[in-house]
Amino acid sequence: MVDSMKHGERKRKALQLLAKLGDAHGAPGCEDAVRRIFRDELDENIRTDRTGNIICEKRGTRKHPRVMLAAHMDEVGFVVQNITRAGLIKFAPLGGWWPHTLLAQRVRIRTREGSEIIGVIGAKPPHFLGKGDREQVLELEKMFIDVGAKDEGEVRELFGIRLGDTIVPESAFTLMHNPEFLLCKAFDNRVGVALAIQVVEEMVDIPHPNTVCTVGTVQEEVGVRGAHTAAFSFNPDAAIILEGTPADDIPGIPEEERQGVLGKGVQIRLLDPSAIMNRRFTHYVLDLAQENNILHQVAVRKSGGTDARAIQLYGQGVPTIVLGVPARYIHTHNTIIQINDYLAALELVVILIQRLDKCTVEGFTVFDD
Ligand SMILES: [Zn+2]
C-alpha cells in the first residue's frame, strides 16, 4: 500500500483528470477532445498514427521489452443520420446501446465548427401510446432528437448541424454525496485514459527496465478498430489494456456470481469471448497484486470484449492482460465508479511496469514445457 500522502496526491490528480475527461466529447471516430487532453497532459514525445490513435513513447533504462499501455478514448454515442423537414434529428448508434436507457435523455451534438448543441431524445408520450406499445422497449429507429428548432432550415443553417455529426450523452461529471463515488457519462473508458495518463506522469521519476508506450486508441466501441493500427504503430512485446468494465453488484445478480464489485479493487480479467489472456502474464500480475496488498478481484466474463481482441493477435502474438475499474451502468448516460478501485489499478500498473524486464516478459511466451 502506498503511504497516505502519496494516496492523497494521486486521488487529487485522478479526480481532476476524470472530471475533465468525463465531460469531453468522444464519440467513435470523433475523439478529438479526448485526444487534446491526452496531448496537453503529456506534451512530450507524442505522435498520432493515421487512424487517430495518440501515442506517447517513453524509454526507460532498457529499450526492450516494449510494453504497451492501451486505453480507448471513445465512448458509445450516435451519429446524425437524417434531419426531418420539421427539424427533428434521426440518429443511428455508434456502439452498443439499450434503447430502454434513452428516452427523454439529453444529448450533445458536435457540429463541424465545434459547437455543441443540446437536444433531447423524444418519442411519443404515453398519452398517445396503445397498451401494447407501452409494454415494449421502443426501437431506436422510432426515436428522434429535438434540438428546439423551427424547421430543417434552422437546424442546418442556424445550428450548423450536418449529417454525420456525432452525438454523446449530456451528463456532467458529479461527485456523489459520498465523494468516493463518482458519476459521469463515460467512465467506459475515461477511467482507462485517466489511468494511462497518470501512469506516464508518475513514471517520469521512476526507473523502469523497458520502453513504455501509452496509447489512447480510437473506435473501440464499434469493433476495436484503432487497436489494430495501434499495435502496428508500436510493435509491443507485452500489452496492458486499461478499461472501465461493467460492474455486476446490482439487484438481480446473485452475490456469489459477482466479479465486478465497486470497492473491491482493480479487476483482473482472465478471459472474455474476445480474448483468453496470457496465462503466465495473468498469474504474474495476480501474484504481484497479492505481494503488494493491492485490493483486486478476478473476472471470467461470458460476454464483452476489449482492445485485447486485436492487440493479442498482432504479429506473432502479444501477451496481453486487461485491468479494469468496475463501473455500474456502462453504456448509459450515468455510470458510477468508486475512486479506490481506480487508485488500486493505478498502484498495480505503476508497480508492474517497474517489473517488466526482458527476462520476465520473454518468460510469458515460453511454451516448450
Ligand atoms: Zn470500454
Distance CA 136, CA 292 (A): 50
And the C-alpha cell for 305?
470484449
Q: How close is the Cα of 136 to the center of ligand 1, in Å? A: 28
Q: Which residue has the cell 450516435?
A: 78
Distance CA 72, CA 216 (A): 5
Asked whether 109 and 30 are in contact (CB, 8 A), the reply is no
- Domains of the chain, by residue range, sit at 4-75+185-363, 77-169
The answer to whether 256 is a known catalytic residue is no
Distance CA 278, CA 364 (A): 7
Q: How close is the Cα of 331 to the center of ligand 1, in Å? A: 9
Asked whether 367 and 81 are in contact (CB, 8 A), the reply is no
CA distances from 92 to 97, 135, 139, 203 (A): 10, 23, 11, 41
Of the candidates 353, 107, 136, the one whose C-alpha atom is nearest the C-alpha of residue 242 is 353
Distance CA 125, CA 55 (A): 47
Q: Which residue has the cell 504497451?
A: 68
Q: How close is the Cα of 187 to the center of ligand 1, in Å? A: 8
Distance CA 23, CA 55 (A): 22
Type of residue at 364? F
Catalytic hit among 220, 221, 243, 347: 220
Q: List CB contacts of 255: < 8 A, sequence separation 6 or more.
A: none
Beta bridge partners of 182: 175, 337
Residues in the chain: 369
CATH top class, domain 77-169: mainly beta
Q: How close is the Cα of 58 to the center of ligand 1, in Å? A: 24
Q: How close is the Cα of 224 to the center of ligand 1, in Å? A: 9
Q: Report DSSP letters for 259-311, one per residue.
A: ---TTS-EEEEEEETTEE--HHHHHHHHHHHHHTT--EEEEE-SS---THHHH
Distance CA 182, CA 253 (A): 22
Of the candidates 273, 360, 358, 365, the one whose C-alpha atom is nearest the C-alpha of residue 322 is 273
The neighbour count for residue 89, using CB atoms within 10 Å, is 29
Q: List CB contacts of 128: < 8 A, sequence separation 6 or more.
A: none
Q: What is the mean pLDDT of each run of 10 residues along the chain (369 residues)?
A: 82 97 98 97 90 96 97 98 98 95 96 96 85 85 96 98 98 97 97 97 94 97 96 96 96 94 97 95 98 98 94 97 97 97 98 98 90
* H-helix segments, 45-186: 131-134, 152-153
Q: How close is the Cα of 339 to the center of ligand 1, in Å? A: 17
And the C-alpha cell for 79?
451519429
* H-helix segments, 159-216: 187-203
Distance CA 73, CA 33 (A): 9
Distance CA 248, CA 316 (A): 35
The fold of the 4-75+185-363 domain, in CATH, is Aminopeptidase (3.40.630)
Asked whether 305 and 275 are in contact (CB, 8 A), the reply is yes
Distance CA 163, CA 173 (A): 28
Q: List CB contacts of 270: < 8 A, sequence separation 6 or more.
A: 276, 277, 282, 298, 299, 300
And the C-alpha cell for 170?
449530456
Q: How close is the Cα of 346 to the center of ligand 1, in Å? A: 17
